[in-house]
Structure 1
Amino acid sequence: MNKMRFISIGGVLTTLTVSMQSAPVFLPAIGLLLSPLSTLPIAIAALSNISLGLAVFFASALILVLVNVQEAVILLFTTGLLGIVLGTFLYRKGLFVSIFYSSIILSIGMILLTYIVGISAFGDFISVDSIPLTLVSYTLFSLVYVSIWTICLRKFINYLIRINVLSLNSSTKAIEFIHFK
């Protein structure tokens, strides 16, 4: 990927990530439904190129610090981190490896978010006083959530390949954006 395409695609995906992750700040009710979708642009970037995924991840976090620090922290520990791991492993290592590592990373991110940063991942639904219950809840939730994300992302990417927006490079098992003339 040349530098101009890298920057252009990264900018568009960063814009989408920031817009979706900051939605709860500007649209409190609808924004909570849009916020988890910030995983998608980061995952697409990481599917294409791991360094592009990391660039989108960190650029989005930096911009979100200016918008809302709490949303930036949530992106860094959960939704963005999930996008990086999903995008990196989905086509390179396979479905089950992707689900396994993504669920572990999301569980760890949620635990760090809850016990180190002090933002409960589930709000008031789970008491943070009961550590074993919280760990089991986070792990089970992560496994189900990541499984749904992996299946939906794979179907979405296959759809984008079918309509010629993306292509799968079989030698590197990376997704490439098709150049339109």
Structure 2
Amino acid sequence: MKKINKMRFISIGGILTTITVIFQAAPIFLPAIGLLFSPLSTLPIAIAAFYNISLGLTVFFSSAFILVLVNVQEAIILLFTTGLLGIVLGIFLYRKGLFISILYSSIALSLGMISLTYIIGISAFGDFISFESIPLTLFLYTLFSLIYVSTWNICLRKFINYLIRLNVLTLNPSTKAIEFIHFK
């Protein structure tokens, strides 16, 4: 894991935490349109975890803490689905490759949705899934996770490559570490 100075860590972490909270809290303040923005809270956490694993975890937990002050349900959803997905994507996509990232991300998202539904009692798909048919629910969660995570992995890889082409990020080929370009 790459060391970064404290000022850069705080600055980047604060910006990415803010973006995460805005996206995750969007359904509260914009009830209909906000549901479209909520899944995007995965992106800043994934970028933070790309850059530095401890930065990703900091953004993840600080976003959850702030969301507890705004809306507890959104904080729980972040912890078990969108945020967890961002952490796993950020850690595995460039470090272990696309297939491993899809596999681990899908497992993490499926387990998060199952925990959210059966332990916490918040259905990941609302009223579309019945609690009586557990095998069907598990199958649908796994199928959805594979498709959703595959899409996220492909789009995130393209987005990171785009940022590299714009010279906002640089990828160190030997360590596969993502670094922000220093602006002077």
* TM-score normalised by L of structure 1: 0.99
Pairs within 5 Å for 1:67-78: 67-78=70-81
**Gap regions ≥5 residues in structure 2:** none
* Distance in 2, Cα, partners of 1:169 & 1:3: 21
Residue 164 of structure 1 pairs with residue 139 of structure 2: no
Match of 2:148 in 1: 145
Match of 2:129 in 1: 126
Number of residue pairs aligned between Structure 1 and Structure 2? 181
Moved over 4 A (4+): none
* Residue 38 of structure 1: how far off its partner (Å): 0.1
Match of 2:82 in 1: 79
Q: CA-to-partner distance for each residue in 1:78-130, whole Å, 9 max, x for gaps?
A: 00000000000000000000000000000000000000000000001111211
What is the letter of the counterpart of residue 62 of structure 1? F
Q: CA-to-partner distance for each residue in 1:4-49, whole Å, 9 max, x for gaps?
A: 0010000000000000000000000110000000000000000000
RMSD: 0.5
* Distance in 1, Cα, partners of 2:78 & 2:172: 29
How much identity, in percent, do the aligned residues show?
83
* Distance in 1, Cα, partners of 2:44 & 2:161: 15
Match of 1:14 in 2: 17
* Residue 52 of structure 1: how far off its partner (Å): 0.3
Bigger drift between 59-68 and 169-178 goes to 169-178
Residue 108 of structure 1 pairs with residue 102 of structure 2: no
* Distance in 2, Cα, partners of 1:18 & 1:146: 21
* Residue 170 of structure 1: how far off its partner (Å): 1.8
User: Which of 37, 49, 60 lines up with 1:34 in the alignment?
Assistant: 37
Match of 1:51 in 2: 54
Residue 96 of structure 1 pairs with residue 95 of structure 2: no
Match of 2:181 in 1: 178
**Gap regions ≥5 residues in structure 1:** none
What is the letter of the counterpart of residue 140 of structure 1? L
* Distance in 2, Cα, partners of 1:88 & 1:172: 13
* Distance in 1, Cα, partners of 2:46 & 2:18: 14
- Helix, strand or coil for the counterpart of 1:46? helix
